[in-house]
């Protein structure tokens, strides 16, 4: 019953905070543009007036790009450095915007306010950045430890069959996937707590996140699994749709762009639904 109420409350809170979701989508579009626009210019310069775009209409062809010669290395280096820069800015920007989103999702926020959104995002930025860094570090450390230790043990044993090796590696991967919702709960509970109590520090909020996650584990964990499942289903739909859609006209390309942006907006909304549901469960 608590799970259903929290999911329902989180969904309604997310609907009322659609302007915050829109801000997340807008900043995401700006970040992607920082990478796509220079890359597009580099491709235009490399393609020239050739008929290369007709070859790409049937799908991605790596040999097409390898034919660029020295230009390929330049394009690849530019794309790599640009991608790293965008990922770094995205991580920092996410910590900023999440502070505003959690504030708009808490109890008592009946009407979305841009002023309150950016004020909360600014006040909670360093704490939210600390929470994101700490939880990300724990996820990477635990994942690398589980998969790494399993790989070392399996590789060092000469008596284990190939099927058994595959089973142990698969089991380690599944274990990491089952632990991931726990860390997401810790991060979300910590953020929700920080917004509800501005005096608490980022470290204390993380401690609260761990405490709240395990004290309400049998309610929180299934709810998080439901939310992740919804995101995975939508993600699978996107992965299926984009490769099979190959527009060959300018109108088709524009329509594909619009559809892709709607998909990004829905993805942000699903994440906001997760934030709202965890916040509702914390306040119950």
Q: 3-state secondary structure string, 36-83?
A: HHHHHHHHHHHHCCCCHHHHHCCCCCHHHHHCCCHHHHHHHHHHHHHH
How many domains is the chain partitioned into structurally?
1
Q: Which residue has the tokens 């639904």?
A: 273
- Below-70 pLDDT ranges, the chain: 36-79, 81-82, 109, 158, 242-256
Please state the separation of Cα 233 from the chain's center in Å.
14
Residue count of the chain, please give it: 284
Residue 171 lies in a domain: no
Give the pLDDT score at 63.
Answer: 53
For residue 37, the model assigns a pLDDT of: 61
**Residue 109 domain boundaries:** 2-133+177-283
Interior angle at CA 18, CA 184 and CA 196, nearest 5: 50
Residue 160 located in a structural domain: no
Write the CB contacts of 83 (distance below 8 Å, at least 6 apart in sequence).
Answer: 35
- CB-CB contact of 43 with 67 (8 Å): no
152, part of any domain: no
Q: What is the pLDDT of residue 250?
A: 58
Q: pLDDT value at position 112? A: 86
CB atoms within 10 A of CB 73: 10
> Quick check: is 127 in a domain?
yes
């Amino acid at each position: 019953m608590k799970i259903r109420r929290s999911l329902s409350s989180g969904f309604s809170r997310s609907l009322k905070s659609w302007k915050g979701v829109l801000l997340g989508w807008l900043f995401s579009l700006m970040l992607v543009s920082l990478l796509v626009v220079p890359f597009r210019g580099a491709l235009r310069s490399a393609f020239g007036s050739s008929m290369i775009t007709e070859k790409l209409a049937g799908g991605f062809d790596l040999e097409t790009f390898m034919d660029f010669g020295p230009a390929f290395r330049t394009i690849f280096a530019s794309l790599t450095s640009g991608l790293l820069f965008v990922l770094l800015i995205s991580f920092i920007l996410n910590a900023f915007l999440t502070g505003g989103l959690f504030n708009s999702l808490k109890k008592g926020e009946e009407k979305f306010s841009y002023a309150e959104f950016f004020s909360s995002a600014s006040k909670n930025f360093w704490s939210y950045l600390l929470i994101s860094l700490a939880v990300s570090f724990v996820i990477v450390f635990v994942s690398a430890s589980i998969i790494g230790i399993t790989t070392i043990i399996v590789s060092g044993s000469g008596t284990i069959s190939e099927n058994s090796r595959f089973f142990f590696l698969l089991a380690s991967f599944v274990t990491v996937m089952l632990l991931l919702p726990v860390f997401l709960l810790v991060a979300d509970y910590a953020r929700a707590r920080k917004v509800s109590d501005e005096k608490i520090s980022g470290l204390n909020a993380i401690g609260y996140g761990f405490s709240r996650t395990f004290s309400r584990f049998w309610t929180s964990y299934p709810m998080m699994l439901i939310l992740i499942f919804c995101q995975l289903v939508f993600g699978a739909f996107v992965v299926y749709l984009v490769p099979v859609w190959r527009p060959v006209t300018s109108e088709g390309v524009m329509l594909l762009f619009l559809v892709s942006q709607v998909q990004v907006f829905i993805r942000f909304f699903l994440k906001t639904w997760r934030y709202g549901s965890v916040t509702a469960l914390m306040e119950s």
